[in-house]
Amino acid sequence: MKILVTGATRGIGRAIADKLSEIGKIFVTGRNETLLKSIPYIEDYCVCDLTQDITQLIDFIKTNEIDVLVNNAGEYIYSPIDKINDKDVEKIYNTNLISPVKLISSAVPHMKSQQWGKIINIGSISGVMGEAGASLYSSTKSGLIGLTKALALELAEYNITVNTINPGWVDTDLGSNSIEDGDFSKEEIIQCIPQRRFVEPKEIAALVKYLISEEAKGITGQSINICAGLSVGI
């Protein structure tokens, strides 16, 4: 099984790559070549910035005939809607939504040919509930959910499943940075989470591993929240 994880150098992506290395050959992509090369178990890597030209990554996917695609790489921008600029819009939409569409498109022909494939999109609870001050981020993650539902229908006859995992607050560098950009402290945020904790990357990785297993073959088109109860209420 050949598995590609985008944004695999740290945080959620690295945890997913670590976990899936137990069951398949791991291919990774990210912006930092030094960090990519430091991952000990990888078959190969592709240096790529999803905000730029991704032609090389598309070719990488086709050449390696990827069986499992995990669209994990993401950008977060916290800004009032009247303060955003064109650069912000292009950066976050290219990374969070447009690039995943293009990568899925490049991976699907091989999956169809072998009548099997798994596509996992890493969304966000902000795409389910909305987040004031992060409308660009929320809208891209909502877009992933819609994409997942449509593709699950389109690809079901080829034995290809498509699902989205929506993490809440996760104990990662991205989570910490988003707190710094926002209006609330970590302690204040934790008080709004029913379990009073941040989700750990390994929890998301374990769910990804399950979704690509034979036991989960009937799960497709789903948007699964893993948020310590945040989506339920306070």
Nearest 5 degrees, angle CA 215-CA 97-CA 189?
80
Per-residue pLDDT of 150-192, as tens digits, reads: 999 999 999 999 999 999 989 876 655 555 565 667 787 888 8
pLDDT band at 234 (very low <50, low <70, confident <90, very high): low
pTM strictly above 0.85: yes
In a domain, 233, yes or no: no
Residue 75 is assigned to a structural domain of this protein: yes
103-134 pLDDT, tens digit each: 999 999 999 999 999 999 999 999 999 899 99
Residue 89 lies in a domain: yes
234 is a domain residue: no
Active site residue 137: yes
Among 78, 93, 137, 158, the one annotated catalytic: 137
Residue 184's pLDDT is 65
Both tokens of residue 48?
């790529």
For residue range 192-219, list pLDDT tens digits in order. Answer: 888 888 999 999 999 999 999 999 999 9
Domain count, the chain: 1
Q: Please name the residues in contact with 220: beta carbons below 8 A apart, sequence gap of 6 or more.
A: 152, 156, 161, 162, 163
What pLDDT does residue 173 have? 66
Contact 37, 9 (CB under 8 A): no
Give CA separation, 146 vs 114, 140, 149, 223, in Å.
25, 10, 5, 9
CB 51 within 8 A of CB 73: no
Q: Has residue 231 been placed in a domain?
A: no
**Residue 193 confidence (pLDDT):** 86
CA-angle at 171, arms to 173 and 230, nearest 5° = 125
Asked if residue 118 belongs to a domain, the reply is yes
Q: Is residue 124 part of a domain?
A: yes
pLDDT digits (tens, 9 = 90+) for 50-70: 999 999 999 999 999 999 999
Domain that includes residue 222, residue range: 2-226
Closest CA to 127 of 59, 82, 88, 74: 74
**Gap between the terminal Cα atoms of the chain:** 41
**Residue 15 near residue 74 (C-beta atoms within 8 A):** no
Residue 232 placed within a domain: no
Mind listing the pLDDT tens digit for each residue in 65-82? Answer: 999 999 999 999 999 999
CATH number of the domain to which 101 belongs: 3.40.50.720
